Structure 1
C-alpha cells in the first residue's frame, strides 16, 4: 500500500489551488499542483500522482486535451474534473473522454475530499489488497483473507487481517490512527478512532508468540510503526 497518496491539482486559480492543497494535506495526502495544462502534463509524467483534480478551462492546453493525453498513458488513474459551468454537455463530454467524476464550482471542499477518497477506494487502494504479501515470517493472503506465520495459519477476523496487511505493506513507517482508519475501515468511517488501539492490541496478543522478528511500536500521540527488531 502506498505510504503517501499523491494528488495532482491542475487549476489556474491560485485561490482554488490553495484551498485544495489545504484539504488534501488535512486528510493525509501529499498535494502537488500546476497552473496550466502543459505544466500539469509534465507533472503527471514526472511525479506519478495517484489521483488528478483537473480544471476544464486552463491556459496553454485545456482540460479536455489534458485528460485525453493522460488516458493514452494511464487507463486507471482517477481523474476528477472541475467545471465552472455545470452544464450537462461538459459533464457528459468529460466522462466520455475518461474522467471518473466531476464537481461543479463553487464546491464544498469536504465534498471534493469525499469524491477523491471514493475514486481512490475504487482503484489503487482496493487493487493493492489483492496481492499476497510476505514480510519477515508473516504471509498475508488478501484473496483468501488468511494469515500465515512461520507456515502456520493464525485465525483472525477480516479487519485484523487488513490491519496487519496495511502495516506489513509499510514497514518502518509511522502511520497515524487516521491513516489506518482511512485505509482499513474506509474513508467514510466516522466512528471512534480508538477502535484502532483495540484492534492492534488483539493483533499483538494473537501474534505474540511469533513476533520475535518484528513488532508494532506505539508512537505516542501519533500512531504506530511496524518494524523489524534490532536483534532479529
Structure 2
C-alpha cells in the first residue's frame, strides 16, 4: 500500500482529501503545515505528497523545494490560484503536477495514479543513454556524472531523456508539451522554458558532454560534445 502525505492548513480540505484517498486504497498521513510535513517525511516513508500552496510559516512552493532537495517523491500542488505566474512558480519549485481549487476528488486521484504510472512505468526497462562520462538511466530515473548521482524531478528527467534519446533533432515547445506533459495539459508553453533552464543550471558545472541548444523561433535540441 502506497503512503500519501497530505499537507494543508485547512482542516476541512485535509479531511476531505484524506477520506477519498483512503477509500481509493492509499495510506494517508496528514500535516497541517510545511514544518510538520518535513518532520513526518524524516520519520515515515511516503510515496507522494499533496501540498497546498497557501499555508502559514512555509508555503507550498517553499515546501516543494525542500522536498526536492531531500526526497525523491512526486509532488502535486493544490492552489486556489489559476494564474500562469503561479503555475510557473510551482514548476520552478519542482512540482510534478498541480490542481486548482475547487477540484473534484476523483480528478486528484486520477492525477495521483497517473504520476505513479509514470514513475513506475519503466521499472523493468534497462535502457541507458551515454554521453561520455554521463549516463542517463531510464530504469532508475537517475543521471550519473562520473561518481556523482543526480535525482531529477520526474518531468525534468523525462524531458532530458527524450531530448537525449533524439540528439541533434529540434523539437518545438508544443511538441515537447504534448510528449512530456500530455495532449490535455492546460499550462503555458513557458513551462518548457522553465524546465530547460533548470536542466541547464543543474548540469552546466557538472559535465560538458552534452548541452541543450535553443533554436530561435523553433524550439530545443540536445547536442553531444564533438569528439
TM-score, with length taken from structure 2: 0.53
Deviations 1:19-48 (A, max 9, x none): 111111111110111001100111122112
Match of 1:40 among 37, 42, 53: 37
Match of 1:89 among 85, 91, 104: 85
Q: Check if 1:20 corresponds to 2:17.
A: yes
Match of 1:67 among 64, 67, 72: 64
Q: Return the index of the structure with the highest Cα Rg.
A: 1
For residues 204-215 of structure 1, what are the structure 2 equivalents within 5 Å? none
Match of 1:50 among 40, 47, 52: 47
Deviation at 1:126, TM superposition (A): 2.7
For residues 1-232 of structure 1, what are the structure 2 equivalents within 5 Å? 4-74=1-71, 76-123=72-119, 125-130=120-125
Deviation at 1:13, TM superposition (A): 0.6
Instruction: Please give the secondary structure, in 2, of the residue aligned with 1:40.
Output: helix
Distance in 1 of aligned mates of 2:92 and 2:34: 19
Q: Which sections of structure 2, spanning at least 5 residues, go unmatched? A: 127-138, 140-227
Moved over 2 A (4+): 125-131
Deviation at 1:129, TM superposition (A): 4.2
Deviations 1:146-205 (A, max 9, x none): xxxxxxxxxxxxxxxxxxxxxxxxxxxxxxxxxxxxxxxxxxxxxxxxxxxxxxxxxxxx
Q: Which sections of structure 1, spanning at least 5 residues, go unmatched? A: 132-142, 144-232
The residue that corresponds to 1:199 in the other structure is none
Distance in 1 of aligned mates of 2:32 and 2:47: 18
Give the conservation status (yes or no) of the 8 Å contact 2:62–2:93: no
TM-score, with length taken from structure 1: 0.52
CA-atom RMSD in angstroms: 1.6
Distance in 2 of aligned mates of 1:19 and 1:68: 25
